[in-house]
Chain A
Amino acid sequence: AQTVTQSQPEMSVQEAETVTLSCTYDTSESDYYLFWYKQPPSRQMILVIRQEAYKQQNATENRFSVNFQKAAKSFSLKISDSQLGDAAMYFCALFGNEKLTFGTGTRLTIIP
C-alpha cells in the first residue's frame, strides 16, 4: 500500500514571506508521480505543481517550487512571496500503483 503523510495540519506565513510545506510518502513503485493540489474555501481542487519521480530536477511553477528527495521519500512545497490568495488547504498526492493517494492536508493561513 502507498501512503502520503503531511505532518503539519496548519501553517501560517506573513504576506510576501516564504513558507515550506512538508510531505513524505511511501510506495513500492519505482515509477510514480507526485503532486501538490490547493483547495481554497470554494472547495475547488487546483493543481499547483507536478513532479515525475524519474526526474531529478525539482519542478518549479512561478512562485511555487518543490524539493524532491527521492531517497528520503520527501516532497516539500515552497511558496515564495506569499500572497493572500495562497490561503487554502494544500494536499500532497502520489500517483502510483494505478491510483492517486492524498495526504491529510495542511491548512495555510496568510497573515497580512
Chain B
Amino acid sequence: KAGVTQTPRYLIKTRGQQVTLSCSPISGHRSVSWYQQTPGQGLQFLFEYFSETQRNKGNFPGRFSGRQFSNSRSEMNVSTLELGDSALYLCASSLAQEGDYMQEDTQYFGPGTRLTVL
C-alpha cells in the first residue's frame, strides 16, 4: 500500500505571496493532519480534517487554512507569507473513526514539504 505523499517537496516563495501544499493520504485513511516543524518551535499541530470537515485546530493565525476533498486528499494554504513561515510542513493520515472529535489512531507521516520564504 502506498504511503502518504506530499507535493511539492520543496518550495521557495517571497514574503506576501500565498502557497498551497497538497497531501494524499494512505488509501482508506480518512483523517489528515498537518504539522509545522521548525528548529525553534519544533513540531506543532496545525489542524486535522475528517470527511471534509475540520475537527480540530492548533494555535495558528487565520492565514493558515486547509481543506479536504471527498477522496480524503487535503490541501493546506498559507496566505500573506512571512519569513517565519519557513518550515517543513508535514502531513499525516490515519484510519480514524466517525465522530465529532479527533480520536486516537496511529498517524503515518508523509515526507514533508520544505517551504522557504525569502
Task: Give the interface of A toward B (CB within 8 A).
Answer: 32-33, 35, 37, 42-47, 50, 91, 95, 98-105
Given A47-B106, A98-B56, A99-B58; A105-B111 close (CB under 8 Å): no
Distance (whole angstroms) from the CB of B107 to the closest CB of chain A: 6
Top 8 A-B pairs ranked by shortest CB distance? A45-B109, A102-B43, A98-B102, A95-B104, A33-B104, A99-B45, A44-B111, A98-B56
Least CB distance, B112 to chain A, in whole angstroms: 5
Please tell me if the beta carbons of A102 and B108 are within 8 angstroms of each other in the complex. no
25 residue pairs bridging A and B, Cβ less than 8 Å apart: A32-B104, A35-B106, A42-B111, A43-B88, A43-B111, A43-B112, A43-B114, A44-B109, A44-B110, A44-B111, A45-B92, A45-B112, A47-B106, A47-B107, A98-B55, A98-B101, A99-B45, A99-B48, A99-B56, A99-B58, A100-B33, A100-B45, A101-B45, A102-B42, A102-B43
Q: In the bound complex, what is the Cα–Cα distance between A95 and B33 (angstroms)?
A: 13
The answer for the CA separation of A43 and B37 in the assembled complex, in Å, is 10
Q: For chain B, which range describes its interface: under 10, 10 to 19, 20 to 34, or 35 or more residues?
A: 20 to 34
Q: Is B90 an interface residue (CB 8 A)?
A: yes
* Total A-B pairs, Cβ < 8 A: 42
Can you name the residue of chain B whose Cβ is closest to the Cβ of A46? B109
Which secondary structure characterizes the binding site on chain A?
strand
Whether A50 touches B102, Cβ cut-off 8 Å, given contacts A43-B88, A43-B112, A100-B33, is: no
Report Cα–Cα, A105/B40, bound state, in Å: 12
A37 to B43, CA, bound (A): 12
Shortest C-beta distance, A31 to chain B (Å), equals 8
* Distance between Cα atoms of A33 and B111 in the complex (Å): 23
A44 vs B112: C-alpha distance when bound (angstroms): 7
Given that A45-B90, A98-B102, A99-B58 are known contacts, is A105 also in contact with B107, CB under 8 Å in the complex?
no
Q: Which residue from A47, A99, A105 sits with its C-beta under 8 Å from B42? A: A105
Cα distance A91–B107 in the bound complex, in angstroms: 14
| Chain A residues closer than 8 Å to B108, beta-carbon distance | 47
Residue of A32, A37, A99 near B102 (CB, 8 A) is A99
Per-position binary interface string of chain B over residues 78-118, scored 1 when its CB falls under 8 Å from any chain A CB and 0 otherwise:
00000000001010100000000110101111111010000
